[in-house]
Structure 1
Amino acid sequence: MLINGEEKTLQQTTTLNALLAQLGYRAAFVAVELNGNIVKQANFGSTTITDADKLEIVSFVGGG
């Protein structure tokens, strides 16, 4: 699979929520594009991710 343009291997099918946690992201502070489509945060727990998918993950950062 591709995550932010970087090749990764996914050992098994998982949910987007579980993958984000595994990668160290806090789901409340990211936007995710899966295979060219934006995924609503409400659907992170029910969205299945496979090794054939392409993800773009953007983190929101506060500051000033």
Structure 2
Amino acid sequence: MIAIILNGEQRQVRGGSIADLVASLGLDVKKVAVERNREIVPRSTLADVALAEGDALEIVHFVGGG
């Protein structure tokens, strides 16, 4: 387990990629925008970017509606 800050809250999560974290949150990787340590992470690289101790992530998911 590693400590990260997710949307302003301290959390303990399993190591892995950002895509793994998004999936564990029950979100669709195709419908999120992720900022890691104040830098936007391109959606095409979410599976390649490993989480690290102390990372600060902001995850925004898109919701359709009408």
Runs of 4+ in 1 over 6 A off after TM superposition: none
Q: How many residues are matched? A: 63
Gaps of 5+ in 1: none
Query: What is the percentage of aligned positions where both structures have the same residue?
Result: 38
Counterpart of 1:21? 23
Residue 2 of structure 1 corresponds to 5
Distance 1:51 1:20 in 2: 17
> TM (normalized to structure 2)?
0.88
For the 8 Å contact 1:32–1:57, the answer to whether it is kept is yes
Matches within 5 A, 1:30-41: 30-41=32-43
* Aligned mate of 1:53, from 52, 55, 65: 55
- TM-aligned CA deviation for residue 10 of structure 1: 2.4
Q: CA RMSD, aligned part only?
A: 1.0
Q: What TM-score does the superposition give when structure 1 sets the normalisation length?
A: 0.90
